[in-house]
């Protein structure tokens, strides 16, 4: 199977690397990308081509990028007349997902969401949530790899909801831990806070450098929480909770 991937970041490059290991021919577009992206793509075994060549010959397009870039990629691929299977692997709200799908009128649209670390064969599993008419077909692309596909629905939206629910819990905890460390630091009681990490529900409090370590991902997690807020709103739930936590990532950016 010939696949085009946009863009090989920390997650996208590893998803693509697993496709290469499964025997697929995976292309990417190096034009305008960073040196780090080039290095990741080379390590993953990806083939660099022009946009027209990558999309024109692809049977599948995989979009795995920061959520703020997802719609632009969908529009570019849609304008190229892509009529294969488009895998939208970004954490998007129902509204954003609908916009992305509308930008690809000739494609078969599959909603996807990654839960877990980049797939490298380590102890923590990488689950690829999938939903849509061709979800099972997409799942089979990663057969025998370090990616564990999970078909969670027949319509786009289910996979993003599954990913969003976990992200709200997992990254929401991280945001609260950042706030806890900042509050403790303000009052000079950081050691008293970190001493509580021995409790079963307080593992995140073992590292007072957590806020600084999360600075490198805040640029991606902030927009993800924007999408989470809209997803909660659409479900009739408390979107303002995600908007409040989004401010933690704004401050760290």
pLDDT tens digits, one per residue of 21-60? 999 999 999 999 999 999 999 999 999 999 999 999 999 9
Q: Indicate the pLDDT class of residue 251, thresholds 50, 70 and 90.
A: very high
pLDDT of residue 91: 85
The string of pLDDT tens digits covering residues 78-108 is 999 999 999 999 989 999 999 999 999 999 9
**Alpha-carbon gap, residue 110 to 76, rounded angstroms:** 17
CATH pick for 2-155 out of 3.40.228.10, 3.30.1330.10, 3.40.50.720, 3.40.50.2300: 3.40.50.720
Beta bridge partners, 63, equal 6, 88
Please report how many Cα atoms fall inside a 13 Å half-sphere around the Cα of residue 47, on the Cβ side: 16
**In this structure, what DSSP letter does residue 121 have?**
S
Q: Please, which residues have CB within 8 angstroms of residue 218's CB and are 6 or more apart in sequence?
A: 249, 250, 252, 253
Give ranges for CATH 3.40.50.720 in the chain: 2-155
How is residue 197 annotated by DSSP? G
Residue 145 has pLDDT above 90, yes or no: yes
Torsions phi, psi of 62, nearest 5? -110, 120
pLDDT at 123: 87
Q: Mind listing the pLDDT tens digit for each residue in 196-223?
A: 999 998 999 999 999 999 999 999 999 9
Q: Is the pLDDT of residue 140 over 90?
A: yes
Sheet containing 2-6: which strands, arranged edge to edge?
A: 47-48, 25-28, 2-6, 60-63, 85-88, 108-115, 126-131, 147-153
pLDDT at 66 over 90: no
For 162-252, CATH number?
A: 1.10.1040
Tell me where in the chain the CATH 1.10.1040 domain(s) lie.
162-252
Confidence of residue 121 (pLDDT cuts 50, 70, 90): confident
Beta-bridged to residue 61, according to DSSP, are 4, 86
Helices (H), 93-217: 94-102, 135-141, 158-186, 190-194, 210-213
């Amino acid at each position: 199977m010939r696949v085009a991937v946009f863009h090989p970041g920390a997650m996208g490059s590893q998803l693509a690397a697993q496709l290469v290991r499964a025997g697929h021919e995976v292309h990417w577009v190096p034009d305008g990308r960073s040196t780090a992206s080039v290095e990741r793509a080379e390590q993953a075994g990806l083939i660099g081509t022009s946009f027209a060549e990558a999309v024109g010959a692809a049977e599948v397009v995989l979009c795995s990028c920061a959520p703020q870039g997802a719609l632009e990629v969908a529009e570019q691929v849609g304008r190229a007349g892509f009529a294969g299977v488009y895998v939208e692997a970004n954490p998007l709200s129902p509204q954003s997902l609908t916009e992305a799908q509308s930008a690809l009128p000739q494609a078969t649209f599959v909603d996807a969401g990654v839960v877990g670390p980049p797939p490298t064969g380590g102890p923590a599993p990488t689950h690829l949530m999938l939903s849509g008419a061709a979800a099972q077909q997409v799942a089979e692309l990663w057969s025998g790899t370090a990616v564990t596909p999970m078909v969670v629905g027949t319509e786009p939206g289910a996979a993003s909801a599954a990913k969003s629910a976990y992200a709200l819990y997992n990254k929401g905890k991280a945001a609260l831990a950042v706030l806890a460390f900042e509050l403790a630091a303000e009052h000079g009681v950081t050691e008293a806070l970190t001493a509580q990490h021995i409790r079963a529900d307080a593992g995140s409090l073992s590292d007072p450098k957590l806020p600084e370590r999360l600075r490198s991902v805040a640029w991606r997690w902030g927009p993800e929480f924007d999408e989470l807020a809209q997803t909660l709103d659409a479900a009739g739930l408390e979107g303002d909770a995600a908007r409040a936590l989004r401010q933690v990532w704004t401050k760290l950016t």
